[in-house]
Amino acid sequence: MQADLFGGTPAELVLAPQAKLLKGLALPYVPRLLAALEQIQHTAPFRHMVTPGGQAMSVALTNCGALGWTSDRHGYRYSALDPDTRQPWPPLPEVLLQLAQEAATRAGFANFVPDACLVNRYRPGARLSLHQDKDERDYSAPIVSVSLGIPATFVLGGLDRVGKTLRVPLAHGDVVVWGGADRLRYHGVLPVAQAEHPLLGAQRINLTLRKAG
Instruction: Pick one of 22, 27, 126, 143: the residue that binds ligand MD3 (CB under 6 A).
Output: 143
What are the phi and psi torsion angles at 135 (to 5°)? -90, 0
Residue nearest to Fe ion (CB): 133
86: exposed, middle or buried (C-beta count within 10 Å: 0-12, 13-18, 19+)? exposed
The CB-of-133 to Fe ion minimum distance in angstroms stands at 4
**Smallest distance, Å, CB 8 to ligand MD3?**
25
When asked if residue 133 is in the footprint of ligand MD3 (CB under 6 A), the reply is: yes
Q: What is the DSSP letter of 190?
A: P
Contact 211, 114 (CB under 8 A): yes
Angle 145-59-65 from CA coordinates, rounded to 5°: 50
What does 206 bind: ligand MD3, Fe ion, none (CB cut-off 5 to 8 Å by kind)?
ligand MD3
Question: Do 30 and 199 touch, CB atoms closer than 8 A?
Answer: yes
Is 133 among the residues that bind Fe ion (CB under 5 A)? yes
Interaction partner, residue 211 (ligand MD3, Fe ion, none; CB < 5-8 Å by kind): none
Identify what 176 binds: Fe ion, ligand MD3, none; CB under 5 to 8 Å per kind.
Answer: ligand MD3
Q: Given candidates 18, 71, 101, 120, which one binds ligand MD3 under the rule CB under 6 A?
A: 120
Does 63 sit near ligand MD3 (CB under 6 A)?
no
Q: How many residues does the chain have?
A: 213
Is residue 20 at the binding interface for ligand MD3, with CB under 6 A as the rule?
Answer: no
206 binds ligand MD3 (CB under 6 A): yes
User: Closest separation between CB of residue 132 and ligand MD3, Å?
Assistant: 7
18 sits near ligand MD3 (criterion: CB under 6 A): no
Longest distance between any two alpha carbons in the chain, whole Å: 51
Q: Which stretch binds ligand MD3 (CB under 6 A): 22-30, 33-41, 104-112, 185-193?
A: 185-193
Kindly state whether residue 182 participates in binding Fe ion, applying the rule CB under 5 A: no
Could you tell me which residues come within 8 angstroms of residue 29 by beta carbon, excluding any fewer than 6 positions away? 95, 98, 99
Alpha carbon distance 165, 154 (integer Å) = 10
Under the binding rule (CB under 6 A), the answer on residue 174 touching ligand MD3 is no
End-to-end alpha carbon distance in the chain: 36
Which residues make up the interface to Fe ion (CB under 5 A)?
Answer: 133
